[in-house]
Structure 1
Amino acid sequence: MDNVTSNIIKYADPGEAVRIFSRKEKDRVGILFENRVRLPEEKVESNGIGIQNIKNMMKKMNGECIVEKENQEYRIILVFPYVN
């Protein structure tokens, strides 16, 4: 979660809300973080290490990290196996 919140602080538009959703399916649960990215003139350099670390950690937990960017909207979805 540190990498997720760090990325939000670093890259999200501070004038817009960060939206957090959860979802449960039969054998999986997920947390979705969605925000608007900073304007291009406010762009912060990125080397992608934070996202790669998240993906590696999720893989070790038998989960999945899905990253989506559409226009100025950014989503990161963390999917975990659900064991009842």
Structure 2
Amino acid sequence: MFLFRLVFSPFRIALFVVRLFGFSRVVVFLLGVAVGLLAAPTTGAEMRARLMAEVEARRDASGPPPPPADLVSPHASG
């Protein structure tokens, strides 16, 4: 029973999303994803390597990530 649920869960989730957002919106979203993948400036292998390097860099960094520059006040003390 567990294997059956595991196999068919993605279909149930997809059906729920289509019912929630509407068929035409889901189709437009998927077309946008397809166009984005076709117009991507790098190959999949290059993008995966870049993402893995970014993930490793964030894992190796000690402490929480710094706040974005636009949120930091130039007059903040500390």
Report which of the two structures shows the higher radius of gyration computed on alpha carbons: 2
User: Is the pair's TM-score, using the shorter chain for normalization, greater than 0.5?
Assistant: no
Q: Flag the structure with more relative contact order, 1 or 2, with Cα contacts below 8 A and sequence separation at least 6.
A: 1
TM-score by length of 2: 0.28
Query: Per residue, is there more helix in 1 or in 2?
Result: 2
